[in-house]
């Protein structure tokens, strides 16, 4: 808004300046025409005065010549009259008359000359020429008066234009004054806004300084962290090289372990087969034990029956026979029980071995998974590629973007 008002004021000022310039040009032109008019008027007046003076001189000369001619005519008449005077005048009067007659002759001669001049037409010709010149001068004066009137009309129109230009200039001045008043009001408003903006900017500057100080401290801390991270990165690189070596060793061990795993799987199948066979053997032993137990029971029953029936055999023979059978059956039973215990022990041993093999297999699988994770992590963590570093310093550490950290340090 202020810029628009400034532009309008500049346009009005330029228009006002152009009108003032035109007004000055018209004023200078008017002054030049007035000066030329005054010069021409003064020249015409000088010429008119000279002609008037020459005319007056000629009229005076003409009147003087006429007076002189009349006086000479009178003297001539008087002389003619005196010639008729009688000769009885005294001698003294005659001397005076002679002197007067000489004067009269001189005057008469001058009158004759004037009469000759008048009769010759030279005076009339000079007067006619002067009258013609006077007429021409009057005509020139009238034409110049017409030019002067035209110039006066033009001067009047220029004065009217000057007055209109002055009125327009006054209007422009009033408009410029109004615009200046508005501009001063706008300047006051802008000054108020500028002061408020300056105060706001000062507050923002103080806040920015505090923020810059905080960021500087943060940058220092980040710089320290960056140094620590660089040291950790070097350590990690060393660890990476060590892990690469360990990975190679793990791969070799993994290969060995896979071979061992295959062998153990084969042995596990064989153990399962042996366990199955042991279970079958145990079942058979249990059946044999049951059959022997039944045979022992039958033999005992037979002994009881023999003892109760009163057989002809001696009691000693019976006892020996029964004891022998019992011993045989008991020996078989003992053997069967021992075999059953051995089979139970073998079964338990095979189960324990099977559990151990399963635990070992699960541990090996966990180790393989851990080795694979370490391998993937070591492949992702390359010194020339990494964008993020996962540091575990005294526990879990969040992922830090090294590039973002460097940009923040550069900005600080």
Q: Which residues contact 180 (CB under 8 A, 6 or more apart)?
A: 9
Which of 27-36, 236-245, 251-260, 306-315 ranks highest by mean pLDDT? Answer: 236-245
Q: Name the nearest CA neighbour of 126 among 184, 210, 65.
A: 65
State which H helix or E strand residue 39 sits in.
Answer: helix 2-83
Say whether domain 208-411 belongs to CATH 1.10.287: yes
Q: Can you give the pLDDT at residue 313?
A: 44
The long-range contacts involving 98-107, CB below 8 angstroms and separated by at least 24 positions, are 104/75, 104/76, 104/78, 104/79, 107/71, 107/72, 107/75
Mean pLDDT of the chain: 69
The 3-state DSSP class for residue 388 equals strand
Which of 72-86, 180-194, 380-394 ranks highest by mean pLDDT? Answer: 180-194
The answer to whether residue 408 scores a pLDDT higher than 80 is no
What would the mean pLDDT of 260-271 be, rounded to a whole number? 75
Predicted structure pTM score: 0.26
Q: Can you give the pLDDT at residue 129?
A: 67
Residues of the chain with CATH 1.10.287: 208-411
Compute CA distances 56 → 36, 70, 229, whole Å.
29, 21, 126
Which of 176-190, 208-222, 265-279, 354-368 ranks highest by mean pLDDT? Answer: 208-222
Q: Measure the CA–CA gap between 342 and 348, rounded to whole angstroms.
A: 10
401 phi/psi in degrees, rounded to 5? -85, 110
**What's the pLDDT band for 394 if we cut at 50, 70, 90?**
very low
Are 181 and 18 in contact by the 8 Å Cβ rule? The answer is no
Q: Measure the CA–CA gap between 111 and 104, rounded to whole angstroms.
A: 10
**What's the pLDDT band for 130 if we cut at 50, 70, 90?**
low
The answer to whether residue 228 scores a pLDDT higher than 70 is yes
Compute the chain's Rg from CA coordinates: 80
What would the mean pLDDT of 28-55 be, rounded to a whole number? 75
The answer to whether residue 335 scores a pLDDT higher than 50 is yes
Are 376 and 276 in contact by the 8 Å Cβ rule? The answer is no
Greater confidence (296 vs 395) lies with: 296
**What's the pLDDT band for 390 if we cut at 50, 70, 90?**
very low
Greater confidence (407 vs 383) lies with: 407
What would the mean pLDDT of 2-29 be, rounded to a whole number? 73
**What's the pLDDT band for 388 if we cut at 50, 70, 90?**
very low
144 phi/psi in degrees, rounded to 5? -70, -35
pLDDT tens-place string over residues 85-119: 544 444 444 555 555 556 555 555 555 555 555 55
Partner residues linked to 388 by β-bridges: 401
**What's the pLDDT band for 177 if we cut at 50, 70, 90?**
confident
Q: What percent of the chain has pLDDT over 70?
A: 59
The 3-state DSSP class for residue 42 equals helix
């Amino acid at each position: 808004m202020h810029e628009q008002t400034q532009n309008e004021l500049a346009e009005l000022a330029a228009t006002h300046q152009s009108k003032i310039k035109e007004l000055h040009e018209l004023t200078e032109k008017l002054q030049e025409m007035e000066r030329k008019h005054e010069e021409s008027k003064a020249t015409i007046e000088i010429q008119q005065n000279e002609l008037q003076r020459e005319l007056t001189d000629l009229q005076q000369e003409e009147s003087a010549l006429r007076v002189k001619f009349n006086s000479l005519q009178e003297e001539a008449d008087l002389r003619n009259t005196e010639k008729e005077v009688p000769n009885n005048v005294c001698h003294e009067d005659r001397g005076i008359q002679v002197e007067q007659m000489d004067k009269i002759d001189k005057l008469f001669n001058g009158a004759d000359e004037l009469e000759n001049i008048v009769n010759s037409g030279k005076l009339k010709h000079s007067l006619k020429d002067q009258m013609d010149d006077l007429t021409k001068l009057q005509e020139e004066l009238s034409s110049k008066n017409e030019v002067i009137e035209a110039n006066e009309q033009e001067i009047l129109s220029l004065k009217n234009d000057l007055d209109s230009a002055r009125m327009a200039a006054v209007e422009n001045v009033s408009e410029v004054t109004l615009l200046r008043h508005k501009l001063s009001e706008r300047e006051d408003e802008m000054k108020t806004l500028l002061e408020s903006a300056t105060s706001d900017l000062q507050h923002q500057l103080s806040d920015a300084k505090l923020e810059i100080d905080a960021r500087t401290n943060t940058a220092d801390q980040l710089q320290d962290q960056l140094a620590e991270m660089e040291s950790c990165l070097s350590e990690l690189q060393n660890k990476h090289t060590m892990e690469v070596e360990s990975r190679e060793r793990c791969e070799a061990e993994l290969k060995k372990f896979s071979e061992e795993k295959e062998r153990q799987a084969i042995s596990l199948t064989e153990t399962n087969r042996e366990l199955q066979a042991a279970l079958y053997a145990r079942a058979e032993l249990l059946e044999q034990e049951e059959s022997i137990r039944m045979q022992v029971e039958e033999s005992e029953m037979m002994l009881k029956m023999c003892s109760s029936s009163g057989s002809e055999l001696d009691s000693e023979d019976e006892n020996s026979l029964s004891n022998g059978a019992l011993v045989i059956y008991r020996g078989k039973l003992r053997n069967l029980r021992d075999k059953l215990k051995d089979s139970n022990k073998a079964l338990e041993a095979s189960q324990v071995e099977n559990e151990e093999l399963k635990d070992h297999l699960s541990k090996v699988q966990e180790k393989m998974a851990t080795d694979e994770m370490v391998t993937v992590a070591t492949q992702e963590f390359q010194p020339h590629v990494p964008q993020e570093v996962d540091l575990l310093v005294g526990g879990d550490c969040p992922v830090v973007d090294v590039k973002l950290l460097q940009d923040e340090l550069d900005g600080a």
